[in-house]
Amino acid sequence: MKVLVASDICELTPAWLKSRGVRAVLADLDNTLAGYSVNEPDPSVTRWMGELRENGVALMVVSNAAEKRVAAFCEPLGLPYLSRAGKPGGRGLLTALKRLRVNADQALMVGDQFFTDIRAGTRAGVRAVLVDPRVKGFWFTLRRKLETPFIEGERV
Ligand SMILES: [Mg+2]
């Protein structure tokens, strides 16, 4: 399967997104926007979120984590979110599209897990970008090895 890869969600600039007709980014939370149990984004991510807002690109968090965790991150930022999203199922993404009033082809799913985030995108008919996790530990290295046969990566 061919999937777009990026090392960081911040590489997805408004210009890049707009050139591909992306009006809404559906982002995974843990290890995509922030490290696990980190409740505030890095300055680079904060800056990126501001650029999206200025350019009229919507951002919504679609996470499998519990409400409490997702709300703790999203509410101070005023970000819409969906917790317990049931990825790799596609229904959570479809709910997000409906809430943002965009079509599947106007959205982009971004996440650090191929078998969860990218699969959910495929099932919902939403393009997806696989990013490196914000914290790269032993499990990342192992998981990427397992994912690699399925991924024909093309850099953003
Ligand atoms: Mg994740």
Strand 81-82 and strand 107-111: the pairing is unpaired
Interatomic CA distance for residues 103 and 84, integer angstroms: 22
**What's the CA-to-centroid distance between 34 and ligand 1, angstroms?**
9
Any idea what the CATH number is for the domain that residue 118 is in? 3.40.50.1000
Interatomic CA distance for residues 77 and 64, integer angstroms: 19
pLDDT level of residue 1 (50, 70, 90 thresholds): low
pLDDT of res. 64: 98
User: Minimal CA–CA distance to 92: which of 37, 138, 28, 150?
Assistant: 28
**What's the CA-to-centroid distance between 112 and ligand 1, angstroms?**
5
Residue-range definition of the domain harbouring residue 63: 2-155
**What's the CA-to-centroid distance between 145 and ligand 1, angstroms?**
17
**What's the CA-to-centroid distance between 111 and ligand 1, angstroms?**
6
Interatomic CA distance for residues 147 and 131, integer angstroms: 13
Structure tokens at 39: 């409740």
Q: What count of other Cβ atoms lies within 10 Å of the Cβ of residue 140? A: 16
Mean pLDDT (the chain, rounded): 93
58: helix, strand or coil: strand
**What's the CA-to-centroid distance between 146 and ligand 1, angstroms?**
16
Number of domains in the chain: 1
**What's the CA-to-centroid distance between 65 and ligand 1, angstroms?**
9
Please write the tens of the pLDDT for every residue from 6-65.
999 999 999 999 999 999 999 999 999 999 989 999 999 999 999 999 999 999 999 999
**Does 100 have pLDDT greater than 90?**
yes
